[in-house]
């Protein structure tokens, strides 16, 4: 497994987190396409921010060996980033009083 694969898995988990959150809470949903876009950007933003603490994909894969604890933290942060982006978009939509992404 390479660091690139870990990054792609993190983005995919962020997409899944945003879409599942959108299904569970309809008032935060922007449809499949909107939730997917929010999940991508939310997970990337939070992983980049949280990765400064040592949970970057390069720190998860060392010498071709995967370390499970940092990988699981990376996955959890990706899920949180996905649904946090939906919440942020809803707050921004209310502040701007517009209906973007829908």
Can you tell me the mean pLDDT for 81-89? 92
Tell me whether residue 24 is in a domain: yes
With a CB cutoff of 8 Å and minimum separation 6, the contacts of 97 are none
Tell me whether residue 40 is in a domain: yes
Can you tell me the mean pLDDT for 76-102? 84
Tell me whether residue 91 is in a domain: yes
Has residue 51 got a pLDDT over 80?
no
Domain around 67:
3-7+14-96
The whole-number pLDDT of residue 47 equals 87
Tell me whether residue 102 is in a domain: no
Has residue 59 got a pLDDT over 90?
no
With a CB cutoff of 8 Å and minimum separation 6, the contacts of 4 are 57
Q: Please give the angle made by the CA atoms of 65, 59 and 84, to the nearest 5 degrees.
A: 120
Q: Which of 12-16, 39-43, 92-96 has the lowest mean pLDDT?
A: 92-96
Query: How many structural domains does the chain have?
Result: 1
Tell me whether residue 55 is in a domain: yes
Has residue 100 got a pLDDT over 70?
no
């Amino acid at each position: 497994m390479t660091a690139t694969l870990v990054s792609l898995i993190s983005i995919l988990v962020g997409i899944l987190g945003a879409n599942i959150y959108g299904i569970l809470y309809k008032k935060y949903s922007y449809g499949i396409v909107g939730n997917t876009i929010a999940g991508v950007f939310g997970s990337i933003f939070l992983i980049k921010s949280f990765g400064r603490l040592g949970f970057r994909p390069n720190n998860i894969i060392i010498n071709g060996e995967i370390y499970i604890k940092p990988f699981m933290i990376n996955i959890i942060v990706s899920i949180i980033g996905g649904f946090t982006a939906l919440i942020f978009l809803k707050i921004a939509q209310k502040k701007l009083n517009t209906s973007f992404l829908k």
